[in-house]
Chains A and B, each alone.
Chain A
Amino acid sequence: MLDRISRRNFLARTATGSAALASLLQGDGLAAEIKPHFAPKAKRVIFLHQSGGPSQFELMDHKPSLKKYHGSELPDSIRQGQRLTGMTSGQKSFPVIAPKFKFSQHGKSGAWFSELLPHTAAISDDLCIIRSMHTDAINHDPAITFLQTGSQQPGRPSFGSWLSYGLGNIADNLPSFVVMISHGSGADANQGLLDRLWGSGFLPSSHQGVKLRSGRDPVLYLSDPPGLDRDLRRRMLNGLDELNRLQLEKDGDPEIETRIQQYEMAFRMQASVPELTDVSREPEKLLESYGPDVRKPGSFAANCLLARRLAERGVRFIQLYHRGWDNHGGLPLNIPKQCKDIDQPQAALIRDLKQRGMLDDTLVIWGGEFGRTVYGQGGLQENYGRDHHGRCFTMWLAGGGFKPSMVHGETDEYGYNIVRDPLSIHDLHATMLHCLGLDHERLTFRFQGRDYRLTDVFGKVEKRLLA
């Protein structure tokens, strides 16, 4: 059923009814909603990507013994001589650094949270926390590319575009894959984001993520130019419609019909997107629950609220990037600011979804491209930093078929190696796709003769994570 049907073929066979219309946003003429491989738990994903790699030590991977080891050299038996990034490979000493923040246990699972995440701790019972994530990459570009496309090297479609391709678009006059970026309050983001993270690789480009931005044009080129009012725009589009129809009669190419519909869709988007981004009708109390930043367009809080609104409107993949977690130095000063940015809004988002009964079929995922080292970058310092660490890090998921009140996996007492239940990026992808009703081995696209998958030739569904 996922074989590519010829676009022309398809349009030749379907009327331009409302179902087909919704799919026209995709432009490839596949049915609006494509049936998944089996009954899905989740219909959509909200990915709260923390760009730069948040430190697990200061947030959710509590390592009480680090107090004891603080300042001592990381034993070779733990480090096992594995590769370091070029930033610390010249370092002679690897002193263990204990986090400066207090931890306490929350919820039925007894999960540990640092004092930096009080709101998130309070929703502990909704979270499936994975402390045993690991990745092959140790630098930002390959690591973030791996997490978002399943490959460290450029060229593959992103998760969101796979989902758009695999499940089609059911959104009301909106794209199926939306991306929002916010800038952290910690040190200015010293790593870049990349177009490929929401790109469609070799999938048709109609599956690529559409950026939703703050300001006059939430979607690029959305607004009519100054001086052209809606009435005149409508008249112009009516004229255009008539002219294109005359051409359709003459040439007989169904692409013209598609184009006519796309202009109508664009016209509706010009209303639906501002309606989406206008939060003035949200109850005051609800706005307050997302924290004061919710009133700052472009903030993580504002984007969390928009994420819920996008989810309500049927958008398949809602991708947030929050920048500023790459704390090679100054970590104790920066990480509280970063946490303050995200803590209250993300907890409010989960509650908001839950309260609307949407958490069951919305898969929320939180995490960065890797974790950070237990040893200090630049040695033992008051205002310490931590280098990239791919051998273990923490992510959490909520809703969408993932088991709530769950803590999965465990790291050693140094928080350096995984000692129980490792979960790879490919496994994570396979499990997420499973919740979305897709068999990761059957969600394929043939390119240069090969049937490509998000999970490449790897990945195993981790059934223990499922509700």
Chain B
Amino acid sequence: MLRCCWILTLSILSASMAANAESPKVDFAREIQPILAQHCGACHGADEKTREASLRLDIRENAIAKKAIVPKDLKASKLVARIDTNDPDLQMPPPESKKPLTGRQKQLLKAWIEQGAEYSKHWAFEAPRRSPVPVNLARHPIDAFVLDRLAKEKLRPAAEADRPTLLRRVTLDLTGLPPTPGELAAFLADTSPNAYEKVVNRLLSSPRYAERQAMAWLDAARFADTNGFNNDEDRTQWPWRDWLIGAFARNLPYDRFLVEQLAGDLLPDAKLDQRVATAFLRNQVHNTEGGIIPEEYRVEYVADRVHTTATVFLGLSMQCARCHDHKYDPITQREYYQFFSFFQNIADKPASYSNFVGAEPYIRVPSSEQRLRVESLDARRVVLEKELKSRESAIEAAVAAWEKSLTPVARQKLAGAGSLLRVSLDEKDGANVATSEAAIRGTVRGKPKWGPGKIGGSLEFDGATFVEVANAPSFEGDSPFSIGIWAFPTANDLLALASKMDDGAGHRGWDMLLENGKISTHLVNHWPDNGLKIVARKPLSINAWHHVLITYDGSRKGAGVKIYVDGKLEPTDITNDTLKDTLRTEKPLHIGRRGASLPFKGKLDDMQIFGLELSADNAAELAATKPVDLVGSLLAIPVEKRTPTQQAAIRRFYLEKIDTEFAKSKAELADVNRQRADIEKNFPALMVMDELPKPRDSFLLKRGQYDQRGEKVSSGVPAIFPSLNAGDRSANRLDLANWLVLPNHPLTARVAVNRWWEMYFGTGLVKTVEDFGLTGEFPSHPELLDWLATEFVQSGWDVKAFQRLIVTSATYRQTSHVTKELRERDPENRLLARGPRYRLSAETIRDNALAISGLLAERMGGPSVKPYQPAGLWEDVTVERRGKYVAAKGEDLYRRGMYTFWKRTCPPPGLMTFDAPNREVCVARRAITNTPLQALVLLNDPTYLEAARKLAERMIEEGGPTPAGRVASAFQRAVCRLPTANEEGVLLRLQADALARFRADPTAAKMFLAVGDSPRVSKVDDAELAAWAVVASTILNLDETISKR
């Protein structure tokens, strides 16, 4: 037997009814203001430009001064005559406005004037007033307010729902998933008085709770995985979704939740996490269509931020004041642009269609896996660096000992050390090319034509010939190296001496070019945003041999690159200087070519690559065809006569070439750095807010047009609200965010608690959750709304505590059964004399089916996933029919709906059918429709057919050998109760029919069971399993299964 949570009796009801004698007093806020706003506001409201007869009806003094209204005197009030007349020239509102008043509205206006025509400020623009909780026998404050209202309506609340129904309701509401049989059994077995509260606490601490709350915020934040518009490229805003889930999981107070999303980047010492939060303001659509006017779209993006912020945090239709003063709410166009100016101080750069990564500003944010990898690599790096350092510090003695041990022969050998690869091009015939390293060989592509060269032979290049050398050394961005070659150019075109470059990967690698006779080189990670280029100022002569040497010090700076021609340092220009990362590429070394378009014409000879930065002396040696002496000559200098630089060079040589342990550690360090760079390269780009150092000038835009600038405005908030004080500087986004969470802000807390109310009851206390303005709906329970708002603020904006407050109320716990009388009296359940009953949301319907069948993959967060989708939908609409939808494999097919990849021009069809929006603009409230297309999805979408197949396996496994046991098991999983005898009978008959059918046609059974990727586990024969799958599909299609009740 369930406790009665209300504790009330009929006698109390009648007592309060008596107190509520009929009162004809007209309520301005609820009854008059909406009429004035809707029917008169356009010509007699706030908008000065459209005002007629300079009459304002939204200001009492003005209306009285103009004699439109004379309080308590209908005859003298011109308004009354004008609304009553049938003369079309006089009638108000004018017939052409097509906004006629109803008889009831006219009556109300007259009654109000008779009663004195009192105005009051719109309720939602005044701070919430905390009324005392009504005194009645309800134990929970929410119930006290609800009961108070019910009593006035002469209605009684319903009894508490039965325990299984209640458990299913609260579990679906708090986690978006159904309870398991184990959870049901535990709840039924728990006889303690706070059994329900224990369940609520368990659910609130579940990670599923955080996902469920986050899911509801995705529409409001117009989150999607593509840019929208014509080109609709993929984007990677999902790290923000991970942040969102985390915020609910750690119960981030709502004021912080708001501040971090609106202005996390402006917080003192903003952490990465807080910058990630601001992606909320960058989730808007982005257009990369060729030929758009960037300023036009920049203005649109800012307008979207205003629209979203105002709608989801303030419940205001501020966008209505973009082109003119707001027709109903006290927001002028000027105030709109003051608000607008908060949101426009970021780069908001246009982005190109090809290779879209993100529109600046964006940051790279690691996924949780990437973060772990990087952390472990960093830990290893610290160890290695320490090791290398300690070896280095104990080096002097080791070097001295080594020097002492060197024989003259060994010294001789050291002379040439430091060369990594030498390709002397001294072959006489054939296409094979030898190098200094036995393991590295090259091949001549095209016609090999050998001849005399600068040193020994050389190879001739006719514009189609080149040498390809696989496995040649590759370089990090921070490793020094040098490359030299002898060249005899015979043309003045754009020529390539050599390159090792991956054209397809943003030209990663290096090259050595001759551009109209001038030597140039690119060192590139990704051109042009991550690479450098330097060009010699003087051209070299053609038809002559020149030695060309490029040296690099590993600084990632253009200034660290030198060009020597014939041993002399050339003056150069740095034309690009953005290198940040590695140059490493697996592409082969090409001599006499870069890519398909840059060949060489002439002769090339003796290419050498060194693993260090050569000196000017070395350059002269090479130009004189002498071997380069890297340490040999230094060692010949007696120790006491060496300069510190010379001694350092010997030390470095010893460490890198002689001390093998050091070299090993150094190589590992390089490897660690490379791995880290590779991971970082794949960090998703997240578009975020990043305030410009100097705010943009802000202007009123006439008619909202980007190119029609009017007066200059400064940042600010509409005058109707409490003022925003930023001292003597102009207010920024952070000031705005802090202003929004002022404890006495009239809207922020009300809008937030109302949205949650809607989440639990299907309708907000203010039905128009997106509009608290003059044309929004008056709250069904104004005192309750204000009590909840103030309670929420007083709790320290504690989000979890607020959910607990609602779901522990008796109002929430009522049964949803409804009688015909009550349904007719209160079809939308605004009075709350019963519990909520309505269809689940799109994502929850799918999650629910996956959970019931055991398919649900519980992995949280990360990139969006692609479950089953009918073929060809993307190709139908994408540019050049390029988009191809490739469904995932394995667990990504069964992740929660909130992780489904959201393509704005072609959103997931199964979810759209159940009223999901396309996420182009913020949506604060989804409709709940009931259509045959929904039936088709649940009957035939492979997602639900596969779930039925797995549920069939599960019911056989868990339900035991009897058909009735199996039906009971699946039924209970789906709707948290056992079937009645009638229901059981229906399903058993269906099973028998299906079984007979599948026994007669085993192929049909096989085909029916072939849907979906998940393997079949059950050993039951095809016909039987298929018959159970039909039963399971029926259960998944029940109205009860897809409804909260």
- Interface residue ranges, A against B (CB under 8 Å): 6, 8-9, 12, 24-28, 83, 85-89, 138-141, 153-155, 175, 181, 183, 188-196, 199, 204-206, 208, 210-211, 213, 215, 217, 219-229, 231-233, 235-236, 239-240, 242-244, 246-247, 250-256, 258-260, 262-263, 265-266, 269-270, 388, 439, 441-442, 446, 448-451
Contact = CB atoms under 8 A, between A and B. Distances in A.
B885 to A, nearest CB: 13
B341 interface: no
B819 A252 contact: yes
Contact of A259 (B290, B918, B1039): B1039
A449 B990 contact: no
Contacts of B927: 204-206
A189 B816 contact: no
A240 B1041 CA distance: 12
Interface stretch (B436-444, B585-593, B665-673, B822-830): B822-830
Interface in B315-335: 317, 320, 327-329
A206 B931 contact: yes
B1010 interface: yes
A87 B775 contact: no
Contact of B1005 (A12, A87, A153, A227): A227
Contacts of A270: 936
Given A27-B929, A189-B881, A226 B941 contact: no
Contacts of A231: 997
B109 interface: no
A175 B913 CA distance: 13
B912 A205 contact: yes
Nearest to B925: A202
Contacts of B837: 251, 253, 255
6 contacts: A204-B915, A221-B933, A225-B1007, A226-B1004, A227-B1009, A255-B837
Contacts of A193: 876-877, 905
B930 A259 contact: yes
A139 B291 contact: yes
A450 B931 contact: no
Given A140-B230, A190-B879, A229-B997, A266 B932 contact: yes
Contacts of A199: 918
A25 to B, nearest CB: 6
A197 B986 CA distance: 44
Nearest to B871: A215
B937 A194 contact: no
Interface in B884-913: 904-907, 909-910, 912-913
B232 interface: yes
Interface stretch (B136-144, B210-218, B847-855, B1026-1034): B1026-1034
B972 to A, nearest CB: 14
Contacts of B560: none
A258 B945 contact: no
User: Which 7 pairs between the two chains have the least Cβ-Cβ distance?
Assistant: A449-B775, A227-B1008, A85-B291, A227-B1007, A86-B291, A266-B935, A154-B920
Contacts of B628: none
A190 B230 CA distance: 9
Given A269-B932, A448-B768, A449-B776, A240 B1038 contact: yes
B1038 A243 contact: yes
B823 A141 contact: no
B817 A225 contact: no
Contacts, number: 269
B980 A246 contact: yes
Interface in B291-344: 291-293, 300, 311, 317, 320, 327-329
Given A190-B879, A217-B870, A225-B1008, A232 B997 contact: yes
Contact of B870 (A24, A220, A262): A220
B880 A263 contact: no
Given A24-B932, A225-B1011, 15 more contacts: A25-B932, A188-B881, A195-B906, A204-B915, A205-B917, A219-B936, A221-B870, A227-B1003, A236-B1034, A251-B818, A259-B935, A263-B1037, A448-B311, A449-B328, A449-B776
Contacts of A220: 870, 909, 913, 933, 936-937
Given A189-B880, A191-B879, A258-B930, A244 B1004 contact: no
Given A222-B940, A226-B1007, A232 B994 contact: yes
Contacts of B1006: 227
Given A262-B930, A449-B774, A221 B936 contact: yes
A449 B771 contact: yes
Interface of B: 37-38, 98, 228-232, 285, 287, 289-293, 300, 311, 317, 320, 327-329, 768, 770-771, 773-776, 816-820, 823-824, 827-828, 837-839, 870, 872, 876-881, 904-907, 909-910, 912-913, 915, 917-918, 920-921, 927, 929-937, 939-942, 945, 980, 982-983, 986-987, 989-990, 993-994, 997, 1003-1011, 1026, 1030, 1033-1034, 1037-1040, 1043, 1045
A206 B231 CA distance: 27
From B838, B878, B880, residue with most partner A Cβ within 10 Å:
B880
Contacts of B983: 243, 246
B289 A210 contact: no
Contacts of A189: 879-881
Contacts of B819: 252
A233 to B, nearest CB: 8
A404 to B, nearest CB: 31
A215 B1045 CA distance: 39
B1008 A439 contact: no
A465 to B, nearest CB: 22
A86 B292 contact: yes
B357 to A, nearest CB: 20
Contacts of A211: 876
B929 A206 contact: yes
B879 A263 contact: no
Contacts of A26: 931
From B930, B942, B1005, residue with most partner A Cβ within 10 Å:
B930
Nearest to B820: A252
Contacts of A239: 986-987, 989-990, 1034
B937 A221 contact: yes
A233 B1039 CA distance: 17
A193 B990 CA distance: 44
Given A252-B818, A266-B936, A240 B1037 contact: yes
Contacts of B935: 259, 262-263, 265-266
